[in-house]
Structure 1
Amino acid sequence: MTATPSSPSVRPPLPPFTEESARAKVQAAEDAWNSRDPERVALAYTEDSAWRNRDRFLNGRAEIRAFLADKWERELEYRLRKELWAYTDNRISVRFEYEWHDASGQWWRSHGNEQWEFDAAGLMRRREASINDIPIKESDRRL
Structure 2
Amino acid sequence: MSLLPPFTRASALQKVKLAQALWNTRAPAKVALAYTPDTIWRNRTSFLTGRAEVEQFLEAKWRKEHHYVLRKDLFAFTDNKIAVQFFSEWNDAPDGKGQWYRAYGLEDWTFAPSGLMRKRMMSGNDLPIAPEERWFTEGVDVDKVDISERHL
What's the TM-score once normalised by structure 1's chain length?
0.91
Map residues 23-34 of structure 1 onto 2, 5 A cutoff: 23-34=13-24
Equivalent residue for 1:61? 51
Q: Give, as a single letter, the amino acid of the residue that structure 1 aligns with 2:117.
A: M
Number of equivalent positions: 132
Gaps of 5+ in 1: 1-11
Distance 1:125 1:41 in 2: 14
Structure 1 position 139, deviation (Å): 1.0
Gaps of 5+ in 2: 137-152
What's the TM-score once normalised by structure 2's chain length?
0.85
Distance 1:121 1:136 in 2: 39
Q: Give, as a single letter, the amino acid of the residue that structure 2 aligns with 1:50.
A: I
Distance 2:17 2:29 in 1: 18
Distance 2:25 2:98 in 1: 21
Equivalent residue in structure 1 for 2:104, among 111, 130, 134 = 111
Distance 2:21 2:45 in 1: 25
* Deviations 1:65-104, CA, capped at 9 Å, x for gaps: 0000110010000000000000000000000000000027
| Bigger mean CA deviation after superposition, 104-113 or 116-125 | 104-113
Structure 1 position 111, deviation (Å): 0.2
Map residues 43-122 of structure 1 onto 2, 5 A cutoff: 43-103=33-93, 105-122=98-115
DSSP-derived class of the 1:35 partner = coil
Distance 2:63 2:98 in 1: 14
Equivalent residue for 1:139? 132
Structure 1 position 43, deviation (Å): 0.3
Equivalent residue in structure 2 for 1:18, among 8, 22, 45 = 8
Higher relative contact order (CA 8 A, sep 6+): 1
Q: Does 1:36 align with 2:29?
A: no
RMSD across aligned positions (CA): 0.9
* Deviations 1:13-55, CA, capped at 9 Å, x for gaps: 1000000000000000000000000011000000000000001
Distance 1:138 1:109 in 2: 11
Q: Give, as a single letter, the amino acid of the residue that structure 2 aligns with 1:54.
A: R
